[in-house]
C-alpha cells in the first residue's frame, strides 16, 4: 500500500503536503486547474498589494480628468471604454472563478499599507469564498525612529484586527529579518494566527550604472534557500505544537519536501520550481516523495513529520550555534 500523503494545514484537510504558493502561475485560472490536476493540495493566489490598487485607481482618475477645463465639451464627453477591472476587482474575480472550478482549498494573499485596509480587503476575500487568508508581511523597516518593538507591535495590531474581522483560518508569511523570530512567532499565534509561513523572500533591487536608475530584479530560488526555513521550523515546531507551519523558499524537489516535513512543517510551498518546470512538476515531486517514504519505511506524512525537529534530534544545538562552531572547526582542519 502506498504511503498516506494526507496532511492538515490551517485546519484544512489536504490531499498532500505540496502547496502552490503565490506566483504568476497561480494568477491564471487555466494554470490553477493544471496545478490541481498535478496534485497541488492547495493554491495561494497572487498577493494583492494595496499600492498596486491605489496606483491603478489614480491612473484611471488621471485619464478621466485629462482635458477637463480645456474644452467645455470635455466635461460631458467620455469615449467608449471596455469594462475595467482594477486591482482589487481583478483579484476578487480570480478568487471567485477559482472557487467555482477547483476542488482544493484556495488561499488569498494580502499586503496592505494603511490602517483598516488589511481587514477590509481580507473581508472582501472571505466574501468571495477564500478558504483562508495569508497576510504577506512584506515591508522594510527603514524608519530610524521606530525600534524593533514598535515594528513588531504594528504587525501584531494588523494580525489582531484581521483576526477579529474574518471567520476563516489566518496565516502570516514572516520576514526572515525579525530581531527575535521565536518571540514574534509566539506573539503572532497569541494574536490569533493559525499558521506561519517561513519565510518571505525580499527581492532586492539592482542599480543601472548608465542611468543610475533602480532596477527591479527577480532571481528564482534554489534548494539551498531552503536551509533558513528548515532551521527555524525545526526550532519552532516543539515550541508551537498546535500551530500550522509552512516551509517556503527553496522547495524544488521531493527531497526538499521530505526535509521540510522532517523538521516539522505541515506543508511545503512551491513557487520558483513551478515557474521553472511548470505545473506538472508537482506530480513528479509527489511521486518522488512516495518512493522516499517507502524506502525509509514511513507509512504516512504524519508519521514522518517532526522526526528531525529540535525536539527530535540528539543535539538541538545543531540548529543553533553548534552547527556554526562545527563548520569553523572543520574549516581549520582542512
- The confidence score (pLDDT) of residue 285 equals 98
- The confidence score (pLDDT) of residue 264 equals 97
Q: How crowded is residue 161: how many other Cβ atoms within 10 Å of its Cβ? A: 17
Mean pLDDT on 278-282: 97
- The confidence score (pLDDT) of residue 53 equals 62
Has residue 289 got a pLDDT over 90?
yes
pLDDT band at 190 (very low <50, low <70, confident <90, very high): very high
Has residue 318 got a pLDDT over 70?
no
DSSP characters over 124-141: HHHHTT-SEEEEE-----
pLDDT band at 315 (very low <50, low <70, confident <90, very high): low
Q: What is the pLDDT of residues 151-175, one digit of tens each?
A: 899 999 999 999 999 999 999 999 8
Q: How crowded is residue 127: how many other Cβ atoms within 10 Å of its Cβ? A: 12
- The confidence score (pLDDT) of residue 271 equals 95
199 cis-preceded (ω within 30 degrees of 0): yes
State the sign of the Cα–Cα–Cα–Cα dihedral 99, 101, 106, 112: negative
Q: In sequence order, which residues have a C-beta less than 8 Å from that of residue 166 and are 6 or more positions away?
A: 119, 122, 123, 126, 133
Q: What is the pLDDT of residues 324-333, one digit of tens each?
A: 445 445 555 6
- The confidence score (pLDDT) of residue 227 equals 95
C-alpha cell at 108: 488569498
H/E stretch holding 302: helix 301-304
Are 185 and 174 spatial neighbours (Cβ–Cβ below 8 Å)? yes
Are 261 and 301 spatial neighbours (Cβ–Cβ below 8 Å)? yes
Q: Give the CA diameter of the chain.
A: 84
Domains of the chain, by residue range, sit at 7-333
Percent of all residues in the chain with a pLDDT value above 70, rounded to a whole number: 81
Mean pLDDT on 184-190: 97
Has residue 77 got a pLDDT over 90?
no
Q: What is the pLDDT of residues 203-229, one digit of tens each?
A: 678 888 999 998 877 788 999 999 999
Q: How crowded is residue 47: how many other Cβ atoms within 10 Å of its Cβ? A: 21
What is this structure's pTM?
Answer: 0.85
Q: Does domain 7-333 have CATH number 3.40.718.10?
A: no
Q: Which of these, 114, 107, 113, lies nearest to 166 by C-alpha position? A: 107
Amino acid at each position: 500500500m502506498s504511503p498516506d500523503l494526507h496532511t492538515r494545514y490551517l485546519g484544512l484537510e489536504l490531499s498532500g503536503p505540496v502547496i502552490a504558493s503565490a506566483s504568476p502561475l497561480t494568477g491564471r485560472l487555466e494554470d490553477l486547474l493544471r496545478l490541481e490536476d498535478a496534485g497541488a493540495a492547495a493554491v495561494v493566489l497572487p498577493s494583492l498589494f494595496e499600492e498596486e490598487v491605489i496606483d491603478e485607481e489614480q491612473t484611471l482618475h488621471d485619464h478621466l480628468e485629462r482635458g477637463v477645463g480645456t474644452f467645455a465639451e470635455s466635461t460631458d464627453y467620455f469615449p467608449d471604454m471596455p469594462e475595467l477591472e482594477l486591482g482589487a476587482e481583478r483579484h476578487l474575480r480570480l478568487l471567485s472563478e477559482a472557487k467555482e472550478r477547483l476542488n482544493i482549498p484556495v488561499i488569498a494573499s494580502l499586503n496592505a499599507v494603511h490602517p483598516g485596509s488589511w481587514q477590509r480587503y481580507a473581508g472582501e476575500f472571505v466574501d468571495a469564498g477564500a478558504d483562508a487568508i495569508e497576510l504577506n508581511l512584506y515591508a522594510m523597516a527603514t524608519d530610524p525612529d521606530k525600534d524593533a518593538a514598535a515594528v513588531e507591535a504594528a504587525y501584531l495590531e494588523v494580525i489582531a484586527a484581521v483576526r477579529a474581522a474574518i471567520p476563516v483560518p489566518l496565516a502570516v508569511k514572516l520576514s526572515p529579518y525579525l530581531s527575535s523570530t521565536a518571540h514574534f512567532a509566539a506573539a503572532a499565534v497569541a494574536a490569533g494566527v493559525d499558521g506561519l509561513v517561513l519565510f518571505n523572500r525580499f527581492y532586492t533591487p539592482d542599480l543601472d550604472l548608465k542611468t543610475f536608475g533602480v532596477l527591479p530584479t527577480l532571481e528564482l530560488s534554489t534548494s539551498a534557500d531552503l536551509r533558513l526555513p528548515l532551521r527555524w521550523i525545526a526550532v519552532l515546531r516543539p515550541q508551537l505544537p498546535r500551530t500550522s507551519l509552512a516551509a517556503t523558499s527553496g522547495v524544488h524537489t521531493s527531497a526538499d519536501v521530505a526535509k521540510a516535513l522532517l523538521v516539522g512543517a505541515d506543508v511545503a510551498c512551491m513557487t520558483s520550481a513551478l515557474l521553472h518546470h511548470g505545473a506538472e512538476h508537482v506530480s513528479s515531486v509527489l511521486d518522488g516523495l512516495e518512493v522516499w517514504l517507502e524506502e525509509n519505511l514511513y507509512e504516512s506524512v504524519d508519521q514522518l513529520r517532526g522526526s528531525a525537529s529540535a525536539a527530535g534530534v540528539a543535539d538541538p544545538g545543531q540548529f543553533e550555534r553548534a552547527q556554526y562552531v562545527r563548520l569553523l572547526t572543520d574549516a581549520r582542519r582542512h
